[in-house]
A and B are shown apart, each in its own frame.
Chain A
């Protein structure tokens, strides 16, 4: 009996410790980034593009990378939406959502979700070489679109599944075609679409491996789709590799910017999805 009590308490302590480590790792990471990043943070970082001698520690900021990242993540999310909304509707409305084919498609998108971004990047690079596209904003957007489609499809799919069946039945019984029914459903899931957009944007803005080969890097803000674009994660990566202390400091500050952006996006999307699921119930 005593041995069992000891075992119980031992494992309870172990569990609490494990939970503290797992939950605490978030604070450890964000804390480290803030601690190192804040001293190097200034207004120039987010309002200026790299000046002459930026990479040996002279003045400038990472505005080029911030804008580049917004372009890439935004472009990819918009393009991805155009593809994934029809796909999600097709799976649920036209295939009925609950048969073998629909479930196989879901598994397929889950598997696509699991493919690492470096493979998408390498593949995107292959495609670009094949079509003779140079590393550019366009290439980056295309590669990242491939990356976010599975996220968008699966999120939208989950959202559409929460719509009550009565709504579909009602619109069908009034003589609506499946397409007209889908429009009704789409209106219902608008907040869900926003959640999907935020999730996809958050993933797209933080990813490096897919833009490494495809978007290139540039000190200027791209003005056309065919110019190379810098991205924030890549800027962090490059600056961190520099032996110059100020440049490393800028990497910390850039990391701080990226962390804040991503945290805001994640928090917004979780608030939204919570509110959405409340509405449904």
Chain B
């Protein structure tokens, strides 16, 4: 390579620095744009739901059970309750199972078994929602209809909040297990060994040391799982009956918010205010999930930083 004259080198240097600057500004722009999507979604959804909020009020929208789009009556209470039932059932089923599984994987399982188990949990997390839905229809619905419900109620089609809850529970398994396992793995060995050396059994060590230490992580994982369950659409829609009444037992059908949005987009533009009401439903989901996500992410980041320090 020939030696460059000094004004040439400085020219090239300037060009390289300019390139660096341009790219940096461009990247900054992309970063700002993609992060501001959160804001734009929030504002956009709010803007579209203003008509329905002005027409009734936040209070009526949230607490009324009257869902008559043709008369302009939009009460979201049944849908909110549907969402809460399904999510609640999912967490009640999934949390104990996942905690026990995580304890087993991190404390008991021999390396060999752990190496087989962890990939399968990952595979489960890759399965698309619609497949969970198909599985729910093919497996859970008949199970509830023929084997579970007859013990408790006279008749059930199987399409119920229980079915939605079970399908959701399986969907959030990988999420909870992977986070809790990660948190458990960060607990210092010394703490557990101290407890074991004092004569505590393994289970007592888990109960009194690991569990207490991992509590913030478990809370974060649960909150994250709740928000995932809240927003899950298609799998729940396929199995939970979609009946706009407040469910009173686990065998009643329910109608969660995401299912409401997904089911009615077709008629959305033909009935006045309907699109606004559906966007309000999306806004509700968005706000709740945003809050839950921020809470759990902040807890998890704090944990990570505490360990790094």
Residues of A within 8 A of B (CB): 4-5, 7-8, 11-12, 14-19, 21-23, 25-30, 32-33, 36, 83-84, 86-87, 89-91, 94, 103, 105-112, 114-123, 125-127, 146, 149, 153, 177-180, 182, 202, 205-209, 212-213, 233, 236-237, 240, 251-252, 255, 258-259, 262-263, 265-267, 270
Q: How far is the CA of A19 from the CA of B131 in the complex (A)?
A: 22
CB-CB under 8 A for A87 and B31, given A126-B44, A237-B238: yes
The size bracket of the interface on B is 35 or more
Given A90-B30, A179-B19, list of 10 further CB < 8 A pairs? A8-B203, A15-B103, A18-B101, A19-B109, A22-B101, A23-B117, A112-B37, A114-B292, A116-B232, A259-B127
Q: Which of B50-58, B189-197, B277-285 contacts A (4 or more CB under 8 A)?
A: B277-285
The reply to whether B231 and A202 contact each other, CB–CB distance below 8 Å, is no
For B127, list chain A residues within 8 Å (CB). Answer: 26, 29-30, 206, 259, 262-263
Q: Total A-B residue pairs with C-beta atoms closer than 8 Å?
A: 254
The reply to whether A116 and B289 contact each other, CB–CB distance below 8 Å, is yes
- Out of B34, B97, B108, name the residue touching A22 (CB < 8 Å): B97
Least CB distance, A15 to chain B, in whole angstroms: 4
The reply to whether B20 and A118 contact each other, CB–CB distance below 8 Å, is no
Closest to A25 in B: B170
Q: How far is the CA of A12 from the CA of B96 in the complex (A)?
A: 14
The reply to whether A7 and B203 contact each other, CB–CB distance below 8 Å, is yes
For A121, list chain B residues within 8 Å (CB). Answer: 262
Closest to A267 in B: B123
The reply to whether B286 and A119 contact each other, CB–CB distance below 8 Å, is yes
For B48, list chain A residues within 8 Å (CB). Answer: 126
The reply to whether A111 and B204 contact each other, CB–CB distance below 8 Å, is no
The reply to whether B290 and A111 contact each other, CB–CB distance below 8 Å, is yes
- Out of B123, B128, B139, B294, name the residue touching A258 (CB < 8 Å): B128
Q: Is the interface of A mostly helix, strand, loop or mixed?
A: helix
Q: How far is the CA of A111 from the CA of B131 in the complex (A)?
A: 25
The reply to whether A116 and B258 contact each other, CB–CB distance below 8 Å, is yes
Within 8 A of A (CB), among B242-300: 258, 261-262, 265, 278-279, 282, 285-286, 289-290, 292-294, 297-298
The reply to whether B123 and A86 contact each other, CB–CB distance below 8 Å, is no
Within 8 A of A (CB), among B126-146: 126-135, 137-139
Residues of B within 8 A of A (CB): 16-17, 19-20, 23-24, 26-28, 30-31, 33-35, 37-38, 40-41, 44-45, 48, 96-98, 100-101, 103-105, 108-109, 117, 119-124, 126-135, 137-139, 170, 173, 177, 201-204, 206, 224, 227-228, 230-234, 238, 258, 261-262, 265, 278-279, 282, 285-286, 289-290, 292-294, 297-298, 301
For B108, list chain A residues within 8 Å (CB). Answer: 12, 15
For B279, list chain A residues within 8 Å (CB). Answer: 122, 126
Q: How far is the CA of A179 from the CA of B24 in the complex (A)?
A: 8
